[in-house]
Each structure stands twice: as structure tokens, then as C-alpha cells.
Structure 1
Amino acid sequence: MPLPKPLVITCGDPSGIGPELILQAWAGNDAQGLAPFAAIADPALLQARAKRIGLDVPVAATNIAHAAGVFSKALPIIPLGSPQSDAPGLPDAANATGVVEAIDRAVGFVHDGTARAIVTAPIAKKPLYDAGFRFPGHTEYLGHLAGTRFGGSFQPVMMLAGPELRAIPVTIHIALAQVPAVLTMDLIVTTCRIAAADLKSRFGIEKPRLAVSGLNPHAGEGGAMGREEIETIAPAIAALRAEGIDAIGPLPADTMFHARARETYDVAICMYHDQALIPAKALAFDESVNVTLGLPFVRTSPDHGTAFDIAGKGIARPDSLIAAIKLADRMSGGSA
């Protein structure tokens, strides 16, 4: 029986906790029952990090074709062309080339069919910006690579998926002051279409229920606290309903996330980053997964950042990365 195609994992910023989370995930695999995965990384970096945190993990440099066969005996590593240093807590723009290379190669593997899905460890944006990276973040760069490799135009949509809540921010990595200008009816409608389509095709929800938040307190209070709900959000919801998408709102964000409210919808569509991510992380910080919808491949990631303050200390918990691996496996045809 042929071995399954592996998942591929990028280490993210090597000065963060990504390398040690991957090591911990492999080390605990007997208990977790994870699908085979391969890390795109500098082998020396992972060996140094394993020694630093006192973890006995054998690593094996290999290629994607042999990764699944290696997985039961050692952590398969697809070596980067760019060496990286193990300096926990000290982000360095010199590592940016390897960070970007890993993302590029991961997309290449899912494009040519040698990997089933991508799991990404957290990146830090400033070292990348310092090295000339011109995309706001991981999600936007993956959308660019999808268009380059697969052809066409893709709008990536970030969704935080936890056991009690799925939440999507319509606007993502921009300053709060910029949100009203960026928030358009077209952006809301497109985001909701992608959410509804992927919840149906990849999560098996036949008719997804979308709860759409307002932007302002009390969803604008009938225009007294802002007119975005009246002029932008409500017309977007009407257009979605005319297409047969089950969308309700605009809803006051402060009453959308209690237990009874969450029972009435499958995903919360929020107007800006923190409006979606605060409740998602408050409810399930260690179990939530960042899923990118709207791409021609599966991509998941932990819901947390690089955690430079605890990197290299061996105290970071791999729960969210493990959840991301399991969800990527399920979404790409596995059974985890």
C-alpha cells in the first residue's frame, strides 16, 4: 500500500518558537497520531534547538518524495538553501531569505502534488520588512503565490477555527484608523462568498450560517454612532441573501460571542482583525487554528505568534500547531 503524501510545515521565524513546536509535535506523535509531515528548514537549526531545549528528536535530511517513509523513525527535513541561525528571541533580517524560501517551496510542493497541505509556523513581520519583504503578512503572500503558481486571481481569507467558534476578519493587517476606508460592500460580499463556499466544500457544512458584525458600537445605533452599517454592511448582507447565502446582521459585536449566540451561526464575519481574533483566542487560545480560505490548496497555522520572549526555553506548548496539523490533514482528505 503506498504511503500517504505528507503535509509540509514551515518553521516560521527561526528565532521564535516555531522550530521547537515542530520538534515537540513529532516527539509526541505516538500519542497524537499525526499524519506524516516534513519540515522545510535548516537541519542544523532544528538540531541545535532540540539540544537547547533538551529534546531527543532524530532528524533526517530528505526530499519530499521520501518524507512519509522517514517519518516513523525521524523528523523529515527538507533542507533550505539558506542557512539560519539558532538565536532564540533575537529576530534577525538575515534569516528572512530562508523564511520566504520555505513558504515558496511549500507552495511548490502542493502545486506539483507531492504534498497534501501546508502548515506554517508563525513569522515576524518586522525582520521580513527590514529585508525588503513587500507583503503585509503570510496570508497575503500566500495569495500572491497561489496566483503565480496556479494561475488566476485568489483572495485569501483568514479564519480562526476553534472548537467553539469560527471567526473571520474582513480587513486584516491594517491600522484600525484605515478600516472604514478599506471596508467596502464588495470586500464584505467577496469575503462572505469565499467563507460560505469553503465551509461547504472543506468543512462539510451544507448551508453555512454567517453572522455578520457591525463596525461601530451597537452596530451603529441606527446611524447615531456611524453610518457604515447602513451604507455598507447592510447592503452587502442583502446582496448575499439575494444570492441564497444565509447571512444575518449587522449584529452588535458585543453580543455575538456568548454561548447562546454562537449556537445560531457557523461563522462570525467581523469587520476588523481584533474584533474576530480576540473572542477566538479568548475562547480557545491553545486549540484554535488559523485557516486560510479562498486558496487552491489547504493552509493552516497556529493561532499565536512567534513568542520571542519564551523561545528556546522549552516551555512553549505545541497544542495549536498540533491542532493545525490535524485540521490540515482532515481538510486535505485525511482522517485525523
Structure 2
Amino acid sequence: MTTTIREIIAIPMGDAAGIGPEITVKSLAKEEIYTMCKPLVVGDAGIVQKAIDVTGVQLSVNVVSTPLDGKYQFGTIDIIDLANVDMDAFEPGQVSAQNGRASFEFIKKSVELAMNGEVKALATTPINKESLKAGKVQYIGHTEMLEDLAQSKDPLTMFQVKGMRIFFLTRHLSVADAIKQMTKERVYDYLVRCDKALARLGVESRKFAVAGLNPHAGEGGLFGMEEVEEIKPGIELAVAAGIDAVGPVPADSVFYQALNGRYDAVLSLYHDQGHIAAKMTDFHRTISITNGLPFLRTSVDHGTAFDIAWKNIASEVSMYECIKLAAEYAPKFTRQSL
């Protein structure tokens, strides 16, 4: 995949003690990235140089003050250096207050650049909840940070893997609580918002399938009434509003059908329903997109992996795909709010 417009993509470095720095430099050691976008690391130059030394990639570091100062040439990593990691106190693979604070500062700076229009998208690396807490950072994860920093409400999560797109009606709730959220009003609202989100990404064909909750999507009420009373009426409301949507489609087939091109996106009803489908398709190439922000954000869908960090064994596949997907959508992405 080659894009003709190379947009600047900010890459906040993530938790320094985790695999973020390694997978970033390994990804930027691939020439194809530079044919698609202009990658700009936001992080600590000392950590990036250490990651280069550990991985053995042939890259040089170019510290810049603004995105406009970057070379964006293969063989060079352009970085806005916040110089906020004390290398003498740095411990790989360990929970750390300084790394928790630093990871937040990388994200905050990246968001500022995006909000000012200096970069077109963010491709984020893993952060660690325990380190954030140790560093007295008030957020528990990326989504909460981005929502607050960008003053956005209830951003939508979308997974993409091998062309299959999955949205989530509910996320971090127990299954019992998630079912309570499966109202016709919410199904309708999310289908409308998901359609607008894909439009902002430049997706012209937008046919949605809504996954069923119960076996065989309830079989007309034989195996549960949620589909009959809430889910299908919500879909009908969306269709009446002009959304191209069908369902509920049994969950044991809808993702396979989407993977093979029958649908442009699936609305998963709860967290694990969509996560399992995506990660069983290709764990390393499942990339998360946060929709509903003023800017584009893609992310790997794995953690800091402290147990293997700084041993040069972490795979960069997810980060590479994360940057590529940001580069693919960035030229078409529109900044207007949902």
C-alpha cells in the first residue's frame, strides 16, 4: 500500500520501561514506512538511542523542536525530545513513577501537536497502568487521556484487521451490565455515530452488520428476547435514518462474513465478542482506531510486556501495522467533530 500524500504521524514513545521504544525503532527501520508517511517520535532521545543500541537497527537520531524541522528520511528518526527520563534511574521492565509521568507527557505533547494541526495523526505505543498510578497520573489509560485532553465525549473504539472493521457498543463492563446497555436507543445512536466515523476516515461504502447477543441471534425469541425487544428495533431506527445496516446477525458467522467482504463493519455488542473475533483473525495485526477525536489515532492492541522488554525479542509487527494504518487513513481524514 502506497499513499501519495505523506502526512506527519506523531508516535508518542509510551512507557520507557516497556517494549514501546524497541518496537518503534524496529518499525522505523523499515523503509516502506517513509514512503507512506512522515513519522515523528515524541519521547526521550536517550531512551530512543538506547533502543537503537539494543535492537541493532541502523538508524540515527535527529532531535527537532517542531514537526516542520524533521528530515523524514529513511535511516533517520526525527524526535521531539522531552528529555524527561533520568537515564541513571532507568530500569527496564519495571513499574516506575518517572516512566508513568513521562509516558503521559509524551501523549500530552502529541495531542497538542495534533490539536494545533502540526501532525495529522497519532500512532500510540503501550503505556502501563501501574506506572501511571505510581506517577500520580489521574488517568488509567490512553482513551481516558485522549478524551479529556481533546475535550471529546465518549470516543468510539474501532478495530481493524485484514480489512475487517469492528466497532463496540459497550466496552469495559461486566457482561451483565453490558446487556443492560443494549437498548434500541443506544444501538441506533451507535450506528449513526459509526457511520459518521467511517465517513470521516474516507470510507465510501459503509454497510453495517450488528452482531447478535444470543445463540442464533435469539432465534426469534426462542433463546432470549434482547434481539426482538431492543437490538432489531434499534437497527430499524437507524435504517429509517438512512444508515445501511442489517441484523442482528448470529455472532458465530457475522465476523467471518465481514472478513470476506459482505459487510464494511460490524457492531459488536460487548468487549470480548469483538476482541476474540479480531485477535483470532490475526493477533499481531489487530489495530485499534479511536474515532470521535478531532484527530486520527491508531494504536497497537497489546501492553508494555515488561517481561520481555529490552531483550530485543518483542515483535514490531503490531506497531508497524499501526503506523501503516494511520498513514493510510490520514490523507482522507476530516477534522470536523462528530
TM range (shorter): 0.7 to 0.9
- Is residue 38 from structure 1 mapped to residue 40 from structure 2 by the alignment? yes
Of 20, 23, 26, the residue aligned with 2:22 is 20
> Which range moves more in the overlay, 117-126 or 16-25?
117-126
Kindly provide the amino acid, as one letter, of the partner of residue 179 in structure 2: P
Give the C-alpha shift of residue 299 in structure 1: 0.7
Q: Which residue type is aligned with residue 157 of structure 1?
A: L
Contact 1:219 1:251 in 2 (8 A): yes
1:20 Cα deviation after fit: 0.7
Matches of 2:258 and 2:106 in 1, distance apart?
Answer: 42
The answer for the alignment partner of 1:51 in structure 2 is: 53
- SS state at 1:189 partner: helix
Partner-residue secondary structure (3-state), 1:161: strand
Q: Structure 2: which 5+ runs fail to align?
A: 333-338
**2:266 aligned counterpart, secondary structure:** strand
Q: In structure 1, what is the equivalent of residue 194 of structure 2? A: 195
TM-score by length of 1: 0.87
The 5 Å alignment of 1:1-336 reads 6-29=8-31, 33-69=35-71, 71-72=73-74, 74-80=76-82, 82-83=84-85, 86-147=90-151, 153-206=152-205, 208-259=206-257, 262-333=260-331
> Which amino acid in 2 is paired with 1:120?
T
Q: Match for 1:255: what amino acid?
A: S
Contact 1:45 1:84 (C-alpha < 8 Å) held by counterparts: no
- For the structure 1 residues 32 and 114, does the alpha-carbon distance in structure 2 shift closer, same or farther, using more than 3 Å as the test? closer
What percent identity do the matched residue pairs reach?
34
C-alpha deviation, 1:134, in angstroms: 4.3
C-alpha spacing 1:24/1:67, structure 2 compared with 1 (3 Å): farther
2:259 and 2:33 map into 1 onto residues whose CA distance is 35
CA RMSD of aligned residues (A): 2.7
Which residue identity lines up with residue 45 of structure 2 in the other structure? Answer: P
- Give the Cα separation in 2 of the matches to 1:177 and 1:136: 23
Q: 1:27 is paired with a residue of what secondary structure? A: coil
Residue by residue over 1:199-241, the C-alpha shift from the partner in whole angstroms, topping out at 9 and shown as x without a partner, is 23313324x1111012233323444544332332222111111
User: Mind listing any 5+ residue stretches in structure 1 that lack a counterpart?
Assistant: 148-152
Quote how far apart the aligned CAs of 1:242 are. 0.9
TM-score, normalised by the number of residues in structure 2 = 0.86
- Whole-Å Cα distance in 2 between the matches of residues 276 and 40 of structure 1? 31
- Structure 2 CA distance for aligned equivalents of residues 26 and 288 of structure 1: 19
Separation in 2, partners of 1:131, 1:158: 26
Q: Deviations over 1:139-177 (max 9, x none)?
A: 232122222xxxxx5331111112241111221233334
SS in 2 for 1:299: strand
Shift of 1:268: 0.9
1:82 aligned counterpart, secondary structure: coil
Q: How far did 1:298 drift?
A: 0.8
**How far did residue 31 of structure 1 move?**
7.5
Tell me the CA shift for residue 4 of structure 1.
5.9
How far does the alpha carbon of each residue in 1:264-287 deviate from its partner, in whole angstroms, 9 at most, with x for none?
Answer: 211111011111111112212233
DSSP-derived class of the 1:40 partner:
strand
Closer/same/farther in 2, CA of residues 133 and 95 from structure 1, 3 Å limit:
same
Aligned to 1:199, the other structure's residue is in SS state helix
Instruction: Write the distance in 2 (CA, Å) between the matches of 1:189 and 1:139.
Output: 23
Which secondary structure does the structure 2 equivalent of 1:258 belong to? Answer: helix
- Closer/same/farther in 2, CA of residues 10 and 184 from structure 1, 3 Å limit: farther
Deviates more, 1:17-26 or 1:277-286: 277-286
* 2-structure distance, mates of 1:183, 1:308: 36
User: d(CA) in 2 for partners of 1:324 and 1:5?
Assistant: 14
For the residues of structure 1 that align with 2:222 and 2:138, how far apart are their CA atoms? 39
Deviation larger for 216-225 or 154-163: 216-225
One-letter amino acid of the structure 2 residue matched with residue 124 of structure 1: N
Q: CA deviation at 1:81?
A: 5.3
d(CA) in 2 for partners of 1:289 and 1:67?
A: 29
Q: Deviations over 1:43-62 (max 9, x none)?
A: 11112222223334321221
Range that drifts further, 81-90 or 37-46 = 81-90
Rate the CA distance shift 1:244–1:11 in 2: closer, same or farther, 3 A: same
- 2:164 and 2:242 map into 1 onto residues whose CA distance is 23
**1:185 to partner: Cα distance:** 3.4
In the alignment of these two chains, the number of paired residues is 327
Secondary structure (helix, strand or coil) at the match of 1:269 reads strand
Q: For the structure 1 residues 84 and 195, does the alpha-carbon distance in structure 2 shift closer, same or farther, using more than 3 Å as the test?
A: farther
Q: Which amino acid aligns with 1:68?
A: G
- Once the 2 structures are TM-superposed, how far is the Cα of residue 32 of structure 1 from its aligned partner? 6.4
| Matched residue, 2:335 | none
CA contact (8 A) 1:6 1:68 kept: no
